[in-house]
Amino acid sequence: MTTENIPGRANDDLADAARRRFVSSLAAAAAVPGLILQTVAEAARPADQPVTDKVRWGLLVDTENCSDGCDACVTACDKEHNLEGFGRPTTDAQWIRTLTAKDKRTGRVVTLPMMCQHCEHPPCVDVCPTGASFRRADGIVLVDKHICIGCRYCMMACPYKARSFVHETIHDQKTYAPRGKGTVESCTMCVHRVDRGDNTTACAEACDRAGHQAILFGDLYDPDSEISRRMRERDVTQIRADLRLNTGVRYQGI
Ligand code: SF4
Ligand code: SF4
């Protein structure tokens, strides 16, 4: 595996062949039917200040702390955004899922959470015909449900299969996370928390509570942030770094 220790910046030159092979096999494994699908912080933006490109919010996942069989992050995300299930796991909305993937070359198995990677160059935004899919100045990628026409181009364009289409009428919505039948949605990096000045996400908080500390939220641009400090300490990987999307979600231990 290789290093990538420049937080928040495109650094594809550091992605070597070994990592690409492993990550490619990881992505391929995630697409195979039958694959086992099985916190912390710095000061966030004060709520009375506008979104700025002076920060780039991101998540760092330490797969060595991610516990096989644990779904605390998934459960917390579902609860936070009221992602109710309709008994149709292949189509029910899911903003975060846990993957267990095996490197075919080495036999090594890793468990990791997969959500929208909040790409700096998001294909989902490029293909959206209405502008509903957009990236904020602070790096968070969102869908404007009022503009989304449900064409699902973004779902096809996303290399991480991170987006869900809402097939059902939604009840009991959270006011901070509006959802709508016939629209597309994905992880918002708990933007409602960010915008009120919180310094963690529901998944990272739950992971902490479960005692694993596998997910860390923070500002990738701030060299003094905890997330930046940890990214300097150990090798960091972007899933499918070969696509040069400069993801806001980074991984360690793979
Ligand atoms: S992971 Fe997918 S949905 Fe998220 S920003 Fe990248 S392309 Fe868009
Ligand atoms: S489904 Fe909505 S967000 Fe996705 S490409 Fe179509 S209009 Fe844009």
Q: Looking at residue 46, what is its pLDDT?
A: 62
In the prediction, which pLDDT does 104 show? 86
Q: With a 6 A CB cut-off, is 143 part of the ligand 2 pocket?
A: yes
Q: What's the CA gap between 67 and 234, in Å, rounded?
A: 19
> How many Å apart are CA 90 and CA 174, to the nearest integer?
23
Pocket test for ligand 2, best of 145, 148, 165, 179 (most atoms within 8 A of CB): 148
Q: Which residues contact 195 (CB under 8 A, 6 or more apart)?
A: 45, 47, 51
Looking at all shown ligands, the one closest to residue 154's CA atom is: 2
170 CB near ligand 2 (under 6 Å)? no
Q: How far apart are CA 103 and CA 80, in angstroms?
A: 33
Atom number of ligand 1 nearest to Cα 157: 7
For 27, 36, 105, 227, 242, the CA distances from 160, given in Å and listed in that order, are 8, 16, 22, 22, 13
Beta-bridged to residue 219, according to DSSP, are 57
Pocket test for ligand 2, best of 181, 183, 188 (most atoms within 8 A of CB): 183
Whether 218 and 41 have beta carbons less than 8 Å apart is answered as: yes
State the 10-residue block means of pLDDT for the chain, 254 residues long.
39 38 40 31 59 97 94 97 91 94 88 97 98 98 97 98 96 92 98 95 98 98 98 96 98 94
- Taking the centre of ligand 1 as the mean of its atom positions, its distance from the CA of residue 49, in whole angstroms, is 26
* 150 C-beta closer than 6 A to ligand 2: yes
Whose Cα sits closest to atom 7 in ligand 2? Answer: 148
Ligand 2 atom nearest 165 alpha carbon: 1
CA 126 to centroid of ligand 1, rounded, Å? 10
The reported pLDDT for the residue numbered 47 is: 64
Q: By alpha-carbon position, which residue is closest to atom 4 of ligand 2?
A: 154
pTM of the model: 0.83
Name residues whose C-beta falls within 8 Å of residue 35's C-beta, 6 or more positions apart in sequence: 29, 99, 100, 101
Contact 8, 236 (CB under 8 A): no
What atom in ligand 2 is closest to the CA of residue 152? 1
State the DSSP code for 237: B
d(CA 196, CA 205): 16
Quote the pLDDT of residue 193.
97
Percent helix, strand, coil in the chain, to 5, is 25, 15, 60
Q: Is 122 in the pocket of ligand 1 (CB under 6 A)?
A: yes
User: What pLDDT is recorded for position 45?
Assistant: 58
Would the CB of 149 count as within 6 Å of ligand 2? yes
**DSSP secondary structure of 86-123:** -S-TTTS--SEEEEEEE-TTT--EEEEEEE----SS-H
Ligand 2 neighbour 128 (Cβ under 6 A)? yes
